[in-house]
Structure 1
Amino acid sequence: MASRAAATHACDACRRRKVKCDATDLCANCRISRLPCQYTYKPKKRGPKAPGLARNPRSAPEPEHVHIAPSPPSTEDTSFWPSPTSSSFEGGKDPVKTAGLARTIRHRLLETLQSSLPSMVMLDIVNYCIDLYMQYTFPSAPSVHEPTLRAGAARFFAEPIVPDLHLFGAGCWPEQVADMRSFALITALCASNASMMPESLISYRESLAIPFLGASRAMLQLFEDWDLEHPTSSSILTRVFHSSALQQTTGKTAVAFHVLGQATLLVLAMRLYREESLRAFDDIEAHILRSLFWQIYAADQASACLCSRPHLLHEASLGEKISLRPPSEGERLTPLLDPSRPGADEIFETRLRVGFHFLPHLWSSAARLLLDVRSSGRADAETGAALRTHLTKAYMNFLSIMDGLPPWLQAANLMATPDDGAAARFQKAAFWVQRCTTLVTFQCLRLVILQQCIESEAWDVVGLTDQSLTLSLTKLGVIHDFVQTLDDIPFIYVQVKGEPTVERIRRVGIVLLEMICNEEDETIKLRAKHYFTRLLHILTRLDSHASDEMNSWQQ
């Protein structure tokens, strides 16, 4: 290493990070970040270049007096975050190096956020993201323990923002992993919510989503192999958040599905479809894992219904029946909400669990029905008659699910009143989220089932004949109910659902486009165009790329 007495320039670490260096033997930045402070860079001599040497403009050093503020890193920019080493993948062979990398990730995230949002307090930003999650996402994905989340936020983001030498390396490797897992989960949650929430709720979302996502993914890389061998609820949930954030920020559905597939494989590896598998965990972890399974299960069944990707959580492939019990209204489980917050009482959380389970129930019922409808064409006459009777009963069972919608999810009980306090507003907003998610899913699945019955020539399953006019009118009736459902729900609850709702709208839009292009009856074609225009208006307000795609189709 070059002698400090002879050094007249920034150390290597400060030069790479493009921050001002005090040029001491152990500079302040490296001392705080616990990074090696070395001075190996040799400035190039000024003056004319020697003949025959090509000029490389990237080799010119930055002026030492200029501080270049970090910009939010792209999720594609891997150079912003430190690269994990093989030792960090192998279960902490070099925990000191891993801890240094973890602290660097945290430091760069804080540096980026302070640069882009200099007037804001970091802990306030993180807590606000958690607030948004608990209000608008938790009702349809009750898979976090709020007190633990907030404690982790305070640990990593409390003022004053200085690197804590006790983070990521105070104890043994499992303790180090616990810190990295907590950081990866919190930043993943922030990335997911910042990318999904509309600007009316978080105007600076673009300044948060990409830096939080990059930091979370980089942190997960430091212990990924260990994480796969020793998975917890955080292992699954972090990847679920990554999938959501990737889909929202990049629009790369294949990448998002791949990451969600990793979470699904962890569910399989942990055998969370078995009730007895949860007995090895404490009450809070078991509660989160139970909710996570049904959340992942609903997403997997959605892929089966919409044919968007292969689905894995099928009893035929599991080799056994799913024995994990869904939550029930009378069951007492360890609370996940912070009881000190307005409205977070036991009755409310129990009702949330009941409302949440409508989604996996709808998706699984529709998935089984659609699978049978698709295979009904291969049955012989005798078997086919019995199968049609079975399919009709299955369709009626699917429709009857909505008959059990509890009173607290009825629209009449969710209307805001001047007398509502903070607790009532919080609870009503959560129930609106559940109502929106459930009804939009139900109406979309009605159309998917009808379309599949028509394609499989199984019209009698839904009580129809093969008359094309009748089929078209029935489709328009279902589409009317879908569009009307979107119009009847306060729009903020449609906005906060992000790409899943956009995907439902896109499915209905595809059916309308087919009718516009193929229907011969002008009245039906005009009605289809009318509903298509209404859907485009909704998509435009959702600020979705799907609206641009459908606009191009219409043209």
Structure 2
Amino acid sequence: MSIRLATHHRPSHRLIRVFAIRAMSPHDPAPEPYLHRACDRCRRKKARCDSVDYSCTGCRGAGQACTFDIPPGKRGPRGKPRRNNIADAPNDTSQRHHNPLETSLSPSSFASATVQAAQPSPHSHSPAALSSQRPHHPTPLERCGLLADAVAQASSSLTSLEAVVRECTDLFFRYIVPFSTSVHEPSFRHSLDQFFGTSPPGASPSQSTFTLITAVCAKVCFFVPSDLYPVGDSLAETFLQASRSCLASYADVDLENPCADSITIRYLHSNCLHTCARPAVSWQVFGEAVRLVQRMCLHDEDSYASLPPIEADMRRNAFWHIYIGDKSLAVLRSMPITIYNYSFEGGITTAYPSSEQNEFTLGSNAGIRLWQYATELLMRMRLIKEVQGPDPDQPHSPFTPADHATLGQLYVRFAICIDNLPPHLLPGSVALSGGDLNSANTKFAAQIADLHVTYHCLKMHLTRRLEEIGYFSCIGEYKGMLVLRKTEIARDMVRLLQTLPFWSLQVNGEPCAEKVRLVGASLLAIIHEPSPLATRARHDFTVLLDILSQLDSKASDALRRELP
């Protein structure tokens, strides 16, 4: 049963900051610790000490230098005994069998304990002592307590953290998994069972387990629309900050010994950061995932041979997610293409994921082919343009017959690459269901939206790139025919968007909105030109703009500002 909480409040900044626990050191200069302190010899003899410059009368008489190794005694009245906090839970027999996630730890008390653990004592000024001092990172158990408290306050509900996380898990594997097949469902659910108290008494979840679970929850809260998960909007940043903070505490170790989850976690973080309007940080985090893919040699099929079957499958899926994301950034945000055949001496030899993994693999592989064929055409255009070189006397250098034939063949291969999709991956199958969430046909709705919106977006992008290098002028195509071609692509996009259930576009997130925006930008250019097709372009542009506005996308604001 889905949780339906009426609140839509964003978590307070205080709640978000509690996950950014870090060692705190005083910024003001500390007083000299030895000015009014007796040396060790005088303290032992309980004599008055007149030490100046590490020398007092007693030590000079004994031929020694003053030392200050004995810790100073505490002053003031004795405080009341403190209760054991969550970090002492394994030693407390009365709480040993409690679920660690049901323990609520006050963020202020935990922050205080963290500061006390991290601050140096006045006498620890030797290099050895300084090198031994490290920031205190909360344990996964402590993070569980902080997260339970933050979720309770952010949602203004008595709903337990376990109920929230389990519902996020169900939503993830129902709506998000077509885009994140590198999360193995049986293994993930087994980790949840361990996470929520079926593990041995006193056991603590690992850092990577906590990070992955909270990353999955963050992805659901950011991407699943509020109609399907009302409380997600108020919990999204709480889960994201919890996950990123935990990853930061063991990031160096993770980079030294990466696995499939190392890539998946960063991929999910990047998706969430992109959605909350932090594209620069999102790209940086995605870049870490790209470098892990390169370091792990996941482009080479041989790298999977010695791995356990599940880990091999998850690494393979993670590689292709990063491959597609790399191309998507290049098309939608003009970022450089990083993962390509020519990037590696032996090319990319990694096989597609096996169709036996799950029912979404067939659609995922179709998406991989779509981006592969589009990328090969884009790279061929760059190569031809580079070889020809700029000609100051001609706006476009002439194509050789071989170049022209090659570009034509590559475009046709791309254009027909989704012609043979099975019926359950065609837009008509969703239209027949009427958008009913309980219909079997809607299981693939989000994947259908991703495949076909991407196809029309890439078709428009490739047409514009071919126009820029003069491909159509070489075959003598009338400019009006080229404009007509663009409006037909845009009209196909409009029909598709009107056919699909709206929630399937929402689940695809900001990348889907950016693809729609790319088509809208092409129509906007036609509207600005004196063309008989300007009226058609304006009509379809208005429809796309309305859809983007309903998606609450940043792309709609940019297009609206450019509309004459």
Aligned-pair CA distance for 1:227 = 0.3
Secondary structure of 2:533's partner? helix
- The equivalent residue for 1:363 is 371
Q: Deviations over 1:437-481 (max 9, x none)?
A: 1110101111001111111111178xx634221111111111111
- Measured on the aligned residues, the alpha-carbon RMSD in Å equals 3.4
CA distance in 2, matches of 1:485, 1:320: 39
Q: Deviations over 1:492-531 (max 9, x none)?
A: 11111001101101211221222222x112x422222211
Aligned-pair CA distance for 1:116 = 2.3
Say yes or no: does 1:26 pair with 2:63. no
Q: Which one-letter code corresponds to 1:548 in the other structure?
A: D
Indicate how the Cα distance of structure 1 residues 378 and 214 shifts in structure 2: closer, same or farther if over 3 A, else same.
closer
Q: Which one-letter code corresponds to 1:252 in the other structure?
A: R
- The equivalent residue for 1:121 is 160
Q: Which one-letter code corresponds to 2:494 in the other structure?
A: V
Selected match of 2:353 from 299, 304, 327: 327
Aligned-pair CA distance for 1:431 = 1.7
In the alignment, is the contact (CA less than 8 A) between 2:378 and 2:462 conserved in 1? yes
Say yes or no: does 1:533 pair with 2:539. no
Indicate how the Cα distance of structure 1 residues 382 and 520 shifts in structure 2: closer, same or farther if over 3 A, else same.
closer
CA distance in 2, matches of 1:209, 1:228: 26
CA distance in 2, matches of 1:475, 1:218: 46
- The equivalent residue for 1:279 is 305
- The equivalent residue for 1:503 is 514
- The equivalent residue for 2:182 is 143
Aligned-pair CA distance for 1:304 = 3.6
In the alignment, is the contact (CA less than 8 A) between 2:114 and 2:136 conserved in 1? no
Matches within 5 A, 1:224-243: 224-243=251-270
Aligned-pair CA distance for 1:82 = 6.7
Matches within 5 A, 1:316-355: 316-329=342-355, 332=356, 335=357, 349=358, 351-355=359-363
Identity among equivalent pairs (%): 30
Matches within 5 A, 1:76-475: 100-117=138-155, 118-157=157-196, 165-167=202-204, 179-249=206-276, 251-306=277-332, 308-329=334-355, 332=356, 335=357, 349=358, 351-379=359-387, 384-414=400-430, 425=439, 427-459=440-472, 465-475=476-486
Indicate how the Cα distance of structure 1 residues 227 and 395 shifts in structure 2: closer, same or farther if over 3 A, else same.
same
Q: Which one-letter code corresponds to 2:235 in the other structure?
A: L
CA distance in 2, matches of 1:128, 1:527: 45
Aligned-pair CA distance for 1:375 = 3.7
Indicate how the Cα distance of structure 1 residues 277 and 204 shifts in structure 2: closer, same or farther if over 3 A, else same.
same
Q: Deviations over 1:5-34 (max 9, x none)?
A: 633xxxxxxxxxxxxxxxx42324366568
Secondary structure of 1:152's partner? helix
CA distance in 2, matches of 1:217, 1:246: 11
In the alignment, is the contact (CA less than 8 A) between 2:140 and 2:210 conserved in 1? no
Aligned-pair CA distance for 1:382 = 9.0
CA distance in 2, matches of 1:221, 1:31: 20
In the alignment, is the contact (CA less than 8 A) between 1:494 and 1:501 conserved in 2? yes
Q: Deviations over 1:213-232 (max 9, x none)?
A: 11111111111101001000
Q: Deviations over 1:337-388 (max 9, x none)?
A: xxxxxxxxxxxx2x42111111111111111102222343455689721011
Q: Which one-letter code corresponds to 1:482 in the other structure?
A: M
- The equivalent residue for 2:490 is 479
CA distance in 1, matches of 2:112, 2:379: 46
**What is the TM-score normalised by the length of structure 2?**
0.73
In the alignment, is the contact (CA less than 8 A) between 1:374 and 1:452 conserved in 2? no
Indicate how the Cα distance of structure 1 residues 487 and 213 shifts in structure 2: closer, same or farther if over 3 A, else same.
same
In the alignment, is the contact (CA less than 8 A) between 2:105 and 2:146 conserved in 1? no
Indicate how the Cα distance of structure 1 residues 186 and 436 shifts in structure 2: closer, same or farther if over 3 A, else same.
same
Aligned-pair CA distance for 1:96 = 11
Gapped runs of 5+ residues in structure 1? 8-23, 36-66, 72-78, 86-92, 169-178, 336-348
Q: Which one-letter code corresponds to 1:253 in the other structure?
A: P
Moved more, 212-221 or 143-152: 143-152
Indicate how the Cα distance of structure 1 residues 296 and 303 shifts in structure 2: closer, same or farther if over 3 A, else same.
same
CA distance in 1, matches of 2:237, 2:510: 17
Indicate how the Cα distance of structure 1 residues 157 and 94 shifts in structure 2: closer, same or farther if over 3 A, else same.
farther
Indicate how the Cα distance of structure 1 residues 429 and 167 shifts in structure 2: closer, same or farther if over 3 A, else same.
same
Aligned-pair CA distance for 1:275 = 1.2
Q: Which one-letter code corresponds to 2:404 in the other structure?
A: R
CA distance in 2, matches of 1:114, 1:376: 59
In the alignment, is the contact (CA less than 8 A) between 1:304 and 1:367 conserved in 2? no
Aligned length: 455
Q: Which one-letter code corresponds to 1:520 in the other structure?
A: P
Structure 1 runs (4+) greater than 6 angstroms displaced: 67-71, 79-85, 93-99
In the alignment, is the contact (CA less than 8 A) between 2:431 and 2:500 conserved in 1? no
In the alignment, is the contact (CA less than 8 A) between 2:298 and 2:316 conserved in 1? yes
In the alignment, is the contact (CA less than 8 A) between 2:545 and 2:560 conserved in 1? yes
Secondary structure of 1:223's partner? helix
Q: Which one-letter code corresponds to 2:370 in the other structure?
A: L
Q: Which one-letter code corresponds to 1:235 in the other structure?
A: S
Mark the structure with the bigger radius of gyration: 2
